[in-house]
Amino acid sequence: MNRDPSEKTSYPVRLESDRLLLRNMWAEDGKFLIRLWTDPKVTRFMGGPRENSFMEETVREMTEDPFREEYDLWILEERKSGKPVGHCGLLQKKVEGKEEIELIYVMDRSFQGFGYATEISRMLLAFAFKIKKIDSVIALIEPENGASEKVAVKAGMTLEKTVIRDENSQMHLYRISHA
């Protein structure tokens, strides 16, 4: 998974359903991402809100080359309105010494409760299994985050175990394997 930094890569992403579009980030998405990741209610189970300055730097780096990373978080857009509604994707993560691919969905508060998290989860799992040929995908979910646990189950994931993450915090590890 380590690449030569001088090697130029390009990973365009475009996944569509009737209601949603998942795509690479554009510079215009910066304000949305900063608002999303600095919102204490949205990030409650994601390690808490990020600092504005940190998010500004992160957005700047992401817009320099939005196609650079094979596994990343991408912009989730509502097709009908064209509005960004979330930041979702697949990320590489080391869990208990093993490389894993994690499914992540972060939804704007005003778009929660519409089934978008479940819909994009299913789309991302199909992408992971059919296009990327990944054997299994996990979701790490704080035990108090019942809404995310429901999304994981609706997407076909099952609770495998509880793991200890950073600073001794417990997380439920949900997994789905390619059939």
Predicted local distance difference test score (pLDDT) of residue 62: 83
Classify residue 163: in a domain, yes or no: no
Q: Which helix (H) or strand (E) holds 143?
A: none
- Residues ≥6 apart with Cβ < 8 Å to 145: 45
Q: Does a structural domain hold residue 98?
A: yes
The 10s digit of each residue's pLDDT in 145-156 is 999 999 999 999
Asked if the structure places residue 56 within a domain, the reply is yes
Which pLDDT does position 59 carry in this prediction?
85
The tokens of 1 are what?
A: 């998974």
Percent of the chain beyond pLDDT 70? 95
Residue 3: the pLDDT is 43
- pLDDT tens by residue, 53-62: 989 998 888 8
How far apart are the C-alpha atoms of 132 and 127, rounded to whole Å? 6
The pLDDT tens digits of the residues spanning 81-133 come to: 999 999 999 999 999 999 999 999 999 999 999 999 999 999 999 999 999 99
Q: Is residue 162 part of a domain?
A: no
How many domains does the chain fold into? 1
Given a cut of 80, whether residue 166 has pLDDT beyond it is: no
Express each pLDDT in 4-39 by its tens digit: 545 556 788 999 999 999 999 998 999 999 999 999
Mean pLDDT of the chain: 91
| Residue-level pLDDT at 149 | 97
Whether residue 19 lies inside any domain: the answer is yes
Count other Cβ atoms within 10 Å, centred on residue 94: 8
Q: Give residue 47's pLDDT.
A: 87
**What CATH number corresponds to the domain at position 63?**
3.40.630.30
Residue 147, in any domain of the structure: no
Token pair for 124: 């991302």
- Residue 54 belongs to what domain range? 14-133
| 33, part of any domain | yes
How far, CA to CA in Å, does 153 sit from each of 16, 72, 173?
22, 22, 12
Query: Is residue 173 assigned to a domain?
Result: no
Three-class HEC string of 26-45: CHHHHHHHHHHHCCCCCCCC
Alpha carbon distance 113, 17 (integer Å): 17
Give the model's pLDDT for residue 1. Answer: 42
